[in-house]
A = this chain, B = another copy of it.
Amino acid sequence: MTQVAVLGFGVVGGGAVEVLDENSDEIAKKSGQDIRVKYILDTRDFPDSSYKSLLIKDFETIENDPDVKIVIEAIGGVGVALDFARRTLRAGKSFVTSNKELVAAHGYELLELAREKGANFLFEASVGGGIPIIRPVAQCLSANKIDEIYGILNGTTNYILSEMIKNGTAFADALKDAQQKGYAEQDPTADIEGHDACRKLCILSSLAFGNHIYPDSVPTMGITKITAEDVRAVTALGYKIKLLGRAVAVNGKVAAYVAPHLIGAENIIAGVDGVQNGIVVRGNAVGDVVFIGAGAGKLPTASAVVADVVDAVKHLNARKQISWGPEDKNKIADSEDLESEWYIRTDAGKSEVETAFPNARFADTPGITAFITPVMSGKKLKELLKLSALSVFRVIS
């Protein structure tokens, strides 16, 4: 039997306890032994919980208990979560987390600490919720050079955009709806400004390309500037608008950024709607592999956390080869050098557009001037773009 501790008894922590309980037979079969939750750490009281006998308030008990081999962190943020991560690993225990902020900001440090201590630092649930993506990128695609990763990494913004497309609603109304349905938080900044997608992209690209990429190296634009007019024009042009995180290998460097994109209808990712996430991994041997599923939610996220726990149990005395090197700023490429078509909405007239972009492809939307440019880099676009642009988004097929 392996004993674990859960830090934080909120949605994800509670979900992990629930999944460990409900699916205990499957889990014992897969991990080769029973897994039992010994402690649940939370500052709050849960007098009505059936797990209340496991609740404690001091981390030292966990840290000093040699029976606890694995710690599940579901607190969030980089405050106490970081402190507990360091102390868990220093104690030689494995650390499993769904905390993307922690991994994006301190992944390299914690992976190194885990390596020194012969423990494992696992974070499958930090990207794509329940979708298996960290392990497939690390292991299954280990025979490939990865050329590109892109995807819908944030379910909240994908829900908002899907509603805007389906109902023609404005951003503010779609956001309100998402908040009422519990898909967006009361302070939605991290989602709608793209920070959450950025953190997940940092984790994926660190893993795929081998050096830690921090959020400050990733230009990030959210969805707050997308209007109902954009959605109408984009639809008329035959595309879907989606917030993508994207990292592209360019001559041994990596260009990574987060921004809204127009996606061609034939791209499978264009059909990933609502709170779903969808991630494309392009390998030099395998081509495009696509992973789609629930990007958030209590049980999906908890199932990814528990899969990590199972893996940690199976590797109590061995190391998982999930790791990457330190940051290397010389390996960061400028995403403005990447070429693509571009979508532009403007209050300039059609003839003015045609002067600047003779090959512009216009949206058939009376009252809205929007068009697609030929393929060019972001830098070239800035040179040519003398119009006042209301929206500028990349196009990918």
Contacts and interface: CB of A to CB of B under 8 A. Distances in A.
A96 to B, nearest CB: 11
A143 B23 contact: yes
Nearest to A129: B286
A314 interface: yes
A303 interface: yes
A162 B32 CA distance: 44
A287 B275 CA distance: 12
A292 interface: yes
Nearest to A309: B143
A129 B293 CA distance: 20
A7 B286 CA distance: 21
Contact of A302 (B31, B138, B143, B294): B143
Contact of A303 (B144, B306, B310): B144
A307 interface: yes
Interface residues of A, number: 56
A328 interface: no
Given A286-B300, A293-B286, A293-B290, A132 B143 contact: no
A145 interface: yes
Given A135-B136, A142-B27, A293 B303 contact: no
A141 interface: yes
A169 to B, nearest CB: 20
A139 B143 contact: no
Nearest to A15: B285
Given A23-B143, A135-B135, A303 B321 contact: no
A368 B266 CA distance: 29
A314 B321 contact: yes
A132 B310 contact: no
A306 B286 CA distance: 11
Interface string A278-302: 0000011111111111100101101
Residue in A139, A143, A307 with the greatest tally of chain B CB atoms within 10 Å: A143
A315 to B, nearest CB: 9
A216 B145 CA distance: 40
Contacts of A136: 132, 135-136, 140
A131 B311 CA distance: 21
A102 to B, nearest CB: 20
Contact of A318 (B293, B318, B321): B318
Given A289-B132, A290-B291, A272 B283 contact: no
A318 B317 CA distance: 11
A72 to B, nearest CB: 12
A141 B145 contact: no
A26 B144 CA distance: 7
A255 B80 CA distance: 48
Contacts of A140: 124, 132, 135-136, 304, 307
A292 B269 CA distance: 11
Contacts of A299: 285-287
A380 interface: no
A29 interface: yes
A130 B287 contact: yes
A289 B32 CA distance: 25
A314 B318 CA distance: 10
Given A135-B135, A136-B136, A143-B306, 16 more contacts: A23-B143, A30-B138, A30-B139, A31-B321, A132-B139, A140-B304, A141-B303, A143-B307, A268-B268, A271-B271, A286-B303, A287-B297, A287-B299, A287-B300, A288-B293, A290-B292
Interface of A: 15, 19-20, 22-23, 26-27, 29-32, 124, 130-132, 135-136, 138-145, 210, 268, 271-272, 283-294, 297, 299-300, 302-307, 309-311, 314, 318, 321
